[in-house]
């Protein structure tokens, strides 16, 4: 897990797009180096939304959680 979000400014306004792209980026990196761990979307305030966990560890059955800083409809 990264200590903070490398895309926090963009993620605040375009959460699904940026966090999804970040997840895909990390999945590509993990796949390219044949790492047995798997990236998961685990949003938490002040941290990167992607965590890399052991392959058998799937929090909430692998469910995707809503990002805590996600903009609400009608928000800037």
- Confidence band of 68 (pLDDT split at 50, 70, 90): low
12-65 pLDDT tens trace = 888 889 899 999 999 999 999 999 999 999 887 778 889 999 976 455 555 555
Q: Which helix (H) or strand (E) holds 39?
A: strand 38-41
Q: Give dist(CA 16, CA 23) in Å, integer.
A: 10
pTM above 0.75? no
Is the model more confident about 34 or about 76?
A: 34
pLDDT at 5: 79
Q: Which of 47, 45, 26 lies closest to 37 in space, CA to CA?
A: 26
pLDDT at 62: 52
């Amino acid at each position: 897990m990264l200590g903070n979000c490398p895309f926090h400014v963009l993620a605040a306004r375009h959460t699904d797009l940026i966090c999804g792209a970040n997840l895909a980026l990390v999945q590509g990196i993990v796949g390219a180096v044949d790492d047995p761990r798997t990236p998961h979307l685990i949003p938490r305030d002040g941290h990167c939304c992607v965590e890399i966990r052991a392959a058998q560890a799937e929090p909430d059955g692998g469910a995707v959680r809503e990002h805590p800083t996600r903009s609400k409809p009608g928000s800037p």
